[in-house]
A and B are shown apart, each in its own frame.
Chain A
Amino acid sequence: MPALFAVPAAVAVAFLAVPLLGLLGRTPWGSIAAELATPRVLEALRLSLVCSLGAVAVSVVLGVPLAFLLARVEFPGRNLVRALTTLPMVLPPVVGGVALLLAFGRRGLAGQWLDQWFGITLPFTTAGAILAEAFVAMPFLVISTEAGLRAMDRRFEDAAATLGAGRWLTFRRVTLPLIAPSLFAGIALCWARALGEFGATITFAGNLPGVTQTMPLAVYIALETDLEAAIALSLVLLVVSLVVLVALRDRWFPTA
């Protein structure tokens, strides 16, 4: 391979690897357990789990039907809807947070009605953090699920129909199991994205310890006061990312 390619490639690998080494090198291995056991860190861990799993739940409940419609039903404006669905993937999360605030804030487009009719306020609540994470993470689930639905052989659904299965039974017993790999990949990606969410969450839901201060937010705050706690939390997030990567390796690197 010509040096023309090898040198920049080596720089690229170093560029990606050195920060990880930096993190690992500064990790206080001796006291990491103690760091992770402090109430503040535990609180952020707990909140991150609650919020990210909540965001996954919202994404599955709303995103799977959306993926199904996008994959299976011709309707006017379908491409527009698909573009809208994927927008949060490219939108700067902080912009998403501002938009959520303007929509679901107490004076927001939808928020004022939620407040008046149901007494629900979302900003600066745990529910708000879940909403912010779902906003950013749902597209990953929708896209993966839609791709799975498009790739599956629909004649299996025909076969189910000839065996007497109605649409709902066919969906549950045939379609879902057949697209399970795509769905699980989507869930894993969606969860990883929700877990790392920072911009939209801090903008829409704020940074209240125990209420909306998830791990990434806690890392950011801890950097200024307690570097070792920040490193410990970062390490947890890194491990989660690696686990997701390993879980999806067959999907992304089929033969490697």
Chain B
Amino acid sequence: MSLEARVELRLGRLALEVELAVATGELVVLLGPNGAGKTSLLRALAGLLALDHGRVTLDGQVLEDAATGAWVPTERRPVGFVFQDYLLFPHLSALENVAFGLRARGVGRDEARRRAAAWLERVGLAGQAGARPRALSGGQAQRVALARAMVSDPRLLLLDEPLAALDAATRTEVRRDLRRHLASFDGTRLLVTHDPLEAMALADRLVVLEGGRVTQTGGPAEVSARPRSRYVAELVGVNLFRGRAAGPTVELGGGAVLVTAGDHDGEVYAAVHPHAVALHRHRPEGTPRNVWAGTADTLDVVGDRVRVRVAGPVPVVAEVTPAAASELRLADGGPVWASVKATEVTVYPA
């Protein structure tokens, strides 16, 4: 029992072609850059966008099948949707917003109000029941939107960037609450974000969507350890190379070669964490097997480390201490040598 979807649709320049399966009780996070089609995919699953081709089933029930013309309209899909900017009805109070879905589904007025009030209490907003959305803070509005989507016990919960509208200060707190409320939901959950931190914190499984297609899927740890696209590599802050492996060496193209401790053949990805990249003023002697010349290009301070982008035949990002950065006079943009031990290179098939 789960969500199974094959979604194909064209929207202007975006061609969305996605196959997706989410188990009941699983929380899948769709991660991708802006314009990748994340929101469109959610809208398609909710029936707000019709498929050109494909099929959507939820717990065995066909919601849409382009081949047969089967189609369950949005209002009859057992789906809860939290929109990016929440879209709380501005003319209704928080309580009326939450009760709206129950009333629409035929629940009596008193019963609907009672259940809505119970949900508001559950998300900690019992005191704001009578407030209009404009009087609510961003975090409060998000909780009302969540209660509104969950109150009628949907079997599929879709959340579109539920934290994007919040400022950084409230986001951490709201994320913790969101995780708790999502954990209490036993149906299928699909959350969209472009924030890797949010994705890692919430996901059972990540699905990376780029340009309308899934480029990678897996657990957060696996995705961050073995990125399969430049986008993911940059998100998780890993150097990613693609090349052709023959035994322990990987040919990167342009004559550059990466020596690894593994034994692979054919097209591979090679990932190197920035803290495994050492920088030197002079060509280092000894154990490191991979040494390239380059110039320190840009420097960013990240926490207590300095991220250095080294330009050269093999562009690479290194993480060093501020002391090392000043000792190497990196700020001058001078020549440096980058070295990586063979054992620090993770190689996996492309």
What residues of chain A have their CB less than 8 Å away from a CB belonging to chain B?
153, 155-156, 158-166, 169, 173-174, 177-178, 180
Contacts and interface: CB of A to CB of B under 8 A. Distances in A.
B48 A158 contact: yes
B159 to A, nearest CB: 12
Q: Main SS of the interface on chain A?
A: helix
B194 interface: no
Given A158-B48, A158-B74, A163 B101 contact: yes
Nearest to B105: A164
Given A169-B104, A173-B100, A162 B91 contact: no
Of the listed residues B47, B73, B75, B149, the one surrounded by the most CB atoms of chain A closer than 10 A to its CB is B75
Interface stretch (B77-85, B164-172, B210-218, B281-289): B77-85
Contacts of A169: 104
Contact of A164 (B87, B90, B101): B101
Given A161-B48, A161-B74, A178 B91 contact: yes
A252 to B, nearest CB: 22
A164 B91 contact: no
A163 B46 contact: no
Interface size class of B (residues with CB under 8 A): 20 to 34
Q: Max chain B CB contacts within 10 Å: which of A160, A161, A165, A169? A: A161
B45 to A, nearest CB: 11
Interface string B60-99: 0000000000000111110111010001011100000000
Contacts of B101: 163-165
Interface of B: 43, 46-48, 73-77, 79-81, 83, 87, 89-91, 100-101, 104-105, 148-149, 152
B83 A164 contact: no
A71 to B, nearest CB: 19
B71 to A, nearest CB: 13
21 contacts: A153-B87, A155-B87, A156-B87, A158-B46, A158-B81, A158-B83, A158-B87, A159-B87, A160-B89, A161-B48, A161-B73, A162-B75, A162-B77, A163-B75, A163-B100, A163-B149, A164-B152, A165-B101, A166-B75, A174-B89, A180-B91
